[in-house]
Amino acid sequence: MAKEPFLKKKKTHYVSEVSTNFTLTFNGSSDEISSMKNLKYRYEFSSSSGGQELNIDKPLTDNEKVFTHKSSGKGTAIEIPDEVIQVTVQWDGNTENFEMGKIEKNK
């Protein structure tokens, strides 16, 4: 009998390492950003989700309109580059839901 051409293994082992930066930019007016007291956002896609809640105790300036959530991990699922991300943002009694898609880079 011929030797089997493929090695049989009982399980497959892999390690994935992911680092994610989610950036949210507030496009409202200077008056709105300076009076903001609470901001909560959540993002979700098929393999992961994240979010943050901020209680703001001092007036924000126009230079503080960008909020970034960083996460990383080993053994986590890797997001698909073309996948649509569902986003919910809540601030001071307002709610906005939208989708984020792939951003094309200029060539």
Spans of all domains in the chain: 17-100
* pLDDT given at position 4: 58
Q: Which pLDDT does position 40 carry in this prediction?
A: 94
Give mean pLDDT in consecutive 10-residue pieces for the chain, a chain of 107 residues.
57 64 85 90 83 90 85 63 86 92 57
The whole-angstrom separation of Cα 49 and Cα 95 is: 18
Helix runs in 1-107, H state only: 30-35
- pLDDT at 32 (0 to 100): 87
AA identity, residue 60 = L
Helix H or strand E encompassing 62: none
39: its two tokens: 């901001």
Label the pairing between strands 66-74 and 17-25: antiparallel
